[in-house]
Amino acid sequence: MKVFVEQSKEKGFDNETTKLIFDSCKTWIDGEVPIVIEQSYSDADADVTFVKTPVLGNPSAGAVTQFILQGEEVISKAVISILAVMPESSIKSSFAQDKFRSLVAHEFGHALGIDGHSPFGKDLMYWKSNQLKPSKRDIQTVMAIWSTAC
């Protein structure tokens, strides 16, 4: 999975926050599938950027993942938009870092193909999850999606 994290002054994150983003993405693959940091948007499978206004007009959404499709069902790119008023300031407290990690890992689950939310609160893909890592059920969902896609 090739991931591009926007680092421009207009729409980007600082180096510390970028590391948090990649660490959050890596929780899904546990070393089995490498995540490659891409330097350009066009080469990436997933693009992470920030927005300064609520995503899709939903003030409670901290982030959203949208798909660019190839045909009707094949995801060619996932675009993860994270609500951040001041993305250039590092996330300092461990509580804030954990909330951010959970948010990014959840959105990365959508980028991997999960199009909905789990009804179970212990799953990372629960709609208001605070989990830092995907559950076995989350992993099994991704594996089922990918096994039918190949």
Task: Report the side by side order of strands in the sheet with 74-83.
Answer: 36-37, 2-5, 46-51, 74-83, 63-70
| Sign of the CA dihedral with 41 first, then 51, 139, and 23 last | positive
The structural domain count of the chain equals 1
Distances in Å between the Cα of 2 and the Cα atoms of 35, 43, 119 are 6, 7, 29
Cα 20 to Cα 15: distance, rounded to the nearest angstrom: 9
Q: Which amino acid is at 20?
A: L
Which among 61, 99, 93 is positioned nearest to 80, based on CA atoms?
A: 61
Q: Which residue(s) pair with 75 in the sheet?
A: 69
CATH number at residue 68: 3.40.390.10
Closest alpha carbon to 135 in 117, 148, 122, 150: 122
pLDDT digit string (tens) for the chain, length 150 residues: 788 888 776 666 777 888 888 888 888 876 555 677 787 888 888 888 777 666 665 656 678 787 777 877 777 788 888 876 555 555 677 888 898 899 999 999 988 889 899 999 999 999 999 999 999 999 899 888 877 765
Q: How far apart are CA 4 and CA 13, in angstroms?
A: 11
Question: Which range marks the domain in which residue 110 is found?
Answer: 2-149
pTM score: 0.80
